Structure 1
Amino acid sequence: MPHQAPTTSAEGEQGTFAIASDGGGDPAIRLRGLRKEFGQVHAVDGVDLDIPPGEFFSMLGPSGSGKTTVLRMIAGFELPTAGTIELHGRDVSRLAPFDRDVNTVFQDYALFPHMTVQQNVEYGLRVKRVPRAERRQRAKEALDTVRLGEFGERKPDQLSGGQRQRVALARALVNRPKVLLLDEPLGALDLKLRHTMQTELKQIQRDVGITFIFVTHDQDEALTMSDRIAVFNAGRIEQVGSPVEVYERPASAFVAGFVGTSNLLSGGGAENIIGKPGVFSIRPEKIRVDADLSKPADVGETSATGTVTDTVYAGATVRYEVTLDAGGQLSVVRQNTAEPADFEGGRVRLSWRHEHSFRVPEAG
């Protein structure tokens, strides 16, 4: 469920940070018939989307899928070729970026190296001619919210990558936008720091209670952080849903293949194993592998026999590639709870619950 924000303040670790009102019952963002063309290229091709206030919403897709272009149009950095953009019921489709109540955090932090952290966060308020005492107080509250209240006098080069990212976030939050746009802000961080920042960013969003729209091409990042996800492909949205809906019940073969790792079983292999035609998604972690071919499948299970053609050791898990006797190939992932079984080149039986064969609506 999206995180709602009925109040107008959120408690930081060391202070209270005021947030914008949600503007009533209108969605935070409403897109209708949104299109963007660059010459003959249809970068965004008819996007309709409602994002309610207080939601952590992710736009997920491969490079060139249109997600970043949609974010830039919401921010006002690009004007739509057609369609409308509403912010809390107000049409902002043709307004300049500074006339929209949004702020953007980019992958490049763009901090001023000669300024302190406090001065960096205050900068936007200085441009708006906010009185000195007020801007210092608001900047301190924003830094408290991102857990950097004691770092105000440091320079950016004295901070870690994760701390610099949080300064950029505080600089955006200090303007008290109704919507915060984040364009792959964690992409420059190393894997361990990125995982830490995912947790912190989600907690900050819950603390301040405003709408976050997060663009990423990282499926794990979107699944970990989001209330809902829109999966983009070729300028269109393939599916919008919660992380569980998108992962467990993909709306298309593209979504099944792009979000996480999925097996797609179709054609004769699907008919022989599942007993009906169509394209079926089976997640690798749902499949059990057994070297005993004589062992029957349990009640409520589907099974198939095949030959292991490859084994990939990945530390926490082991992946087996199995060519099926009935046609097709399946990947199987096992938790590395004991010494990895050496199935390579051997004959195995695969089994999974009937409900884990999810029929996708289209063949891809």
Structure 2
Amino acid sequence: MPHQAPSTAPRAGAARNPGDRPAIRLTGLQKHFAEVRAVDGVDLDIPPGEFFSMLGPSGSGKTTVLRLIAGFELPTAGSIQLAGRDVSTLAPFDRDVNTVFQDYALFPHMSVQQNVEYGLRVKGVGKAERRQRAEDALRTVRLEEYGRRKPSQLSGGQRQRVALARALVNRPKVLLLDEPLGALDLKLRQAMQVELKQIQREVGITFVFVTHDQDEALTMSDRIAVFNAGRIEQVGTPLEVYEKPATAFVAGFVGTSNLLSGRGAEAVIGRPGVFSIRPEKITIDGNLASPAGPGETSATGIVTDVVYAGSTVRYAVALDAGGQLSVVRQNISAPTEFADGRVRLSWRREHSFRVPEAG
């Protein structure tokens, strides 16, 4: 198995205390499928006890990285270390990790208790110990009274928690979660996001969570790695990734962002470049004569579209200076208040964040 030489570039997400040993260390990680570079040189440290999310669109490489960590795929180049141990070529059962998939794959003929005990039974753990550990795992996911039920007697959220208990019962150092909430409806998914984060805090192990849902990653994560075309575009806290995107791709993919460039940027911002302005940071006003306040940037334009979304209203505004901005406003007045009218937009200067690279 080829191994790429360690990179001399700064590592993404290095351990917060230099003396700490990362729970996961990826060095020069690559995975090729014929001519396709699914993973194309990933360097990453994830410290112990962190809720870490890998976020990106389909085909960005995030799930392949998860499968490489789990041992379901072997790297074309580079190395994978778990707590300082190189596991790059080891089988999945020789790595101290467990994986929870979107398809929970529970045995329908077994009870909840038996499903959770199954992995311990395969490992030859005694009956009394595996029963006690399974009961402890079910208690952790708040299902201690459901042990005798069959999976068919549970809701989608309860089955998801059984799959989580089945993984936790093995006491892994790292738990890998491959879009485990994707099959749930919106309200249940939101409830499970809160619950999953709380469980992670209670058990204290490293969670690596793969998702394409930006809101999910922002809600649950201590840190996020944003993937694109097999590479990591940015690693940071939810606040850093959202407020200070490192690239145009991150600005456009994480949440909703306006990118102002060219002559429009020069006329409005006053200097060339590509600038990210979040829609919720912008104030919309029908009074064109209203002066800009101290520390504010302003621009005029015409409303070209209004999208009603219940609690919010989104306005598309074509700027007189060139370019278009999207504005999100709380639904506190008539949604059609500015429809097809000329408006003035304003925002604080610090909310015009220059994107270091234009993707």
State if a TM-score over 0.5 links the two structures. yes
Cα RMSD for the two superposed structures: 1.1
What is the match of residue 144 of structure 1? 139
The whole-number CA distance in structure 1 between the counterparts of 2:314 and 2:229 is 30
Which residue does the alignment assign to 2:273? 278
**Cα distance in 1, alignment partners of residues 140 and 332 from structure 2:** 40
**2:337 is the counterpart of 1:342:** yes
Matches within 5 A, 1:278-297: 278-297=273-292
2:211 aligned with 1:216, yes or no? yes
Q: Distance in 2 between matches of 1:102 and 1:237?
A: 22
**Inter-partner Cα distance in structure 2 for 1:299 and 1:282:** 18
| Cα offsets for 1:297-324 (capped at 9, x unmatched) | 1110000000000000000100000000
Superposition map of 1:1-364 within 5 A:
25-364=20-359
1:130, 1:46 → 2: CA distance?
40
Other structure's SS at 1:232 match? strand
- The separation in 1 between residues aligned to 2:307 and 2:86, in whole angstroms, is 52
Match of 1:221, SS state, is: helix
The size of the alignment, in residue pairs, is 343
The letter of the residue matching 2:261 is S
Post-superposition shift, 1:221? Answer: 0.2
Question: Which ranges in structure 2 are unaligned for 5 or more consecutive residues?
Answer: 1-12
Task: Give 1:59's aligned amino acid.
Answer: M
Counterpart contact for 2:306–2:336, Cα < 8 Å: no
Q: In structure 2, how many angstroms separate the alpha carbons of the residues matched to 1:332 and 1:232?
A: 27
2-structure distance, mates of 1:251, 1:134: 49
Task: Please state how far the C-alpha of 1:343 moved relative to its aligned partner.
Answer: 1.1
Separation in structure 1 between the aligned mates of residue 270 and residue 186 of structure 2, nearest angstrom: 42
Counterpart in the other structure of 2:5: none
Residue 363 (structure 1) shift: 1.5
Q: Deviations over 1:227-253 (max 9, x none)?
A: 000000000000000000000000000
Q: What are structure 1's unaligned runs of at least 5 residues?
A: 5-23
**Aligned twin of 2:9:** none
- Counterpart contact for 2:80–2:87, Cα < 8 Å: yes
What is the distance in 2 between the residues matched to 1:151 and 1:169? Answer: 14
- After superposition, the C-alpha distances for 1:168-226 in whole angstroms (9 at most, x for unaligned) are 00000000000000000000000000000000000000000000000000000000000
**Structure 1 residue identity aligned to 2:251:** A
For the residue of structure 1 that corresponds to 2:114, the secondary structure is helix
Which SS does the other structure have where 1:275 is aligned? Answer: coil
Secondary structure in structure 1 of the residue aligned to 2:219: helix
- The Cα of 1:258 is off from its aligned counterpart by 0.1
AA aligned opposite 1:293? L
| Deviation of the 1:336 alpha carbon | 1.1
Residue type of the partner of 1:282?
A: I
Task: Report the TM-score when normalising by structure 2.
Answer: 0.94
Whichever residue aligns with residue 309 of structure 1, its letter is T
Cα deviation, residue 344, structure 1? 1.5
Identity of aligned residues (%): 83
Letter in 2 for 1:336: N
Distance (Å, rounded) in 1 between the aligned partners of 2:44 and 2:264: 37
The corresponding residue for 1:14 is none
Letter in 1 for 2:25: R
